[in-house]
Each structure stands twice: as structure tokens, then as C-alpha cells.
Structure 1
Amino acid sequence: MTDRPQTAYKVLTADQMATLERDGTFAGAPVDLADGYVHLSTANQLTETVDKHFAGQTDLHVAAVDLGSFGGSLKWEESRGGQLFPHLYGPLLLETVIAYGPLERDDDGTVRLPVAG
């Protein structure tokens, strides 16, 4: 068994973040619904995901998700460049989000991870 991170990240628009906060659940963005799972990224994949799929968008948020909460509904699947990405086959629940906040970048352009508190 490989050593996989226990936390992954979901990029959300302000409206999607508001839905998650209000309803306690988020079924997914249009691309998630089309693909049949909620796309997540590891910390190492997050900046590339934002740059590739959210370029030019503002008012984005990042949610840190506890992967230990999902059991069999979380699958690691190969995606771009052969990397394994965490895919959630079910809704994202607010109770599994351990931290979230507006998307911010460090001086070098790396997306800053949200911290609890």
C-alpha cells in the first residue's frame, strides 16, 4: 500500500462555497457532475489544478478535506501525466472539511493551503 496523503483540496467558486456552508453538502461543480465524481487534488497538485482549470477566475475558495472520512467512496485514479488524483464518488460534506478560505497565493505563485482556526 502506498503512503497517500490524508488531506486533499477542493477548489470552489464563491457560490459553491456558499452552498456547502448553507446546505452542509456539495454535489459538485458542473465538471464533477459530468464526470460522476468530485475532483480533488493533493497539496502537491493544487497549484497546477488551479492554473489549468481556474485560470483567470477570481473569488475562488479552497477547502481542505479529510480523506479518512470517505471509505470506499474515495478512489485514487490516474489522470493527467499519470498522476493519481483523489476522486470522491459522492457529495462533499461540510463535516469532512477541516479548513477552508479564500484562495491566496504565496509570492512564488504557489496556492496557499487553508489552515484551521
Structure 2
Amino acid sequence: MRVLHVAEADLWMRALEAGGYRGSTRGLDLAQVGFVHASTARQLPAVVAGLYADASLEDQVVLVIDVPTCESSGSPVRWEVPEDSAQPFPHIYGPVPVSAVVAVLRMRRGADGRVTMPVLDGLDVLEAPPAR
């Protein structure tokens, strides 16, 4: 089972050196928020539209994160419903170990402003939150 996280490319590069990723959401880190925000494949477009509408996507990457690897490394993943949503999102409570990131993908924004999402085929990313 894998989930997605939009990361600033430079934070991801620093994580490679440090061994763990500590970003949370745009402009905030794990220490400030308490967890790393993540999403499913279906949730990703809304996350990008809501949080990155004014951002250059050239500076962002999408991390494909293996949930069992996070959990076995001491960073549990909890499915929680944020105040501004009706559906649960994955929240990673601890740093994301570099070993849990199985792919780093790019998004693009066309001249018309539309976002081209990364291709997730074969990456075992959850389409939607698991049934409760």
C-alpha cells in the first residue's frame, strides 16, 4: 500500500542526505504540524488545486511512499478526516524514511494553467482511502 506526498524538491534533496523527510505541507514541517500530509491517487488533484494553485510545480515533486516501510520504521500512518473534508487522508506521524520512498515523480503545469499529474501505473498507489 502506497500513498503520495507533494514535496518541495529542495527539501527532498536534503532528506536524501539526512536519511528522512520532515516536510509536512506547503511551507510547514513535521515539527510544526505533527505529521506529514499525504493523499491517495484520487485525492492528489484536489490537493494540488487547493494548496499549489499559485505555485510553480517545477519546484515540487510527488513522493510515492510505501506505508509498511514507514510503519516498520516507527512512523505510523493514520487515516484522519481533516476539518475541511468529508473523507480521510493519510497522515504520517514521524519522518518519512528515505527507504520508504519508492518513486519521485514530476507534475507539470501547461501554458493554459492545467496540471498534468504524474503517471502512477504499476506503483501500487491507493486510489481511495481504505474501507473502514
Mark yes or no: TM-score above 0.5.
yes
- What SS does structure 2 have at the residue aligned with 1:57? coil
Corresponding residue number in structure 1 for 2:117: 111
After TM superposition, the score normalised by the length of structure 1 is: 0.79
Residue identity matched to 1:23: A
Q: Does the CA-based 8 Å contact 1:9-1:41 persist in structure 2? A: yes
Q: 1:110 to 1:33 in 2, by over 3 A?
A: farther
Deviation at 1:63, TM superposition (A): 0.5
Q: RMSD of the alignment, in Å?
A: 2.4
Q: Does the CA-based 8 Å contact 1:43-1:113 persist in structure 2? A: no
After TM superposition, the score normalised by the length of structure 2 is: 0.71
Aligned length: 110
- What SS does structure 1 have at the residue aligned with 2:108? coil
Corresponding residue number in structure 1 for 2:8: 13
Corresponding residue number in structure 1 for 2:128: none
Residue 100 of structure 1: which of 100, 104, 110 is its match?
Answer: 104
Instruction: Could you tell me which runs of 5 or more consecutive residues in structure 1 were left unpaired when the two chains were aligned.
Output: 1-5
- What SS does structure 2 have at the residue aligned with 1:86? strand
- What SS does structure 2 have at the residue aligned with 1:82? coil
Deviation at 1:77, TM superposition (A): 0.4
- Residues 30-69 of structure 1 mapped to structure 2, 5 A cutoff: 30=28, 32-58=30-56, 59-69=59-69
Pairing 1:87–2:91 present: yes
Deviation at 1:102, TM superposition (A): 2.2
- If each structure's helix is expressed as a fraction of its own residues, which one has the higher value? 1
Instruction: Could you tell me which runs of 5 or more consecutive residues in structure 2 were left unpaired when the two chains were aligned.
Output: 123-132
In the alignment, the residues of structure 1 paired with residue 15 and residue 121 of structure 2 have an alpha-carbon distance, to the nearest angstrom, of 18
Corresponding residue number in structure 1 for 2:80: 77
Aligned-residue sequence identity (percent) comes to 28
Q: Does the CA-based 8 Å contact 1:47-1:110 persist in structure 2? A: no
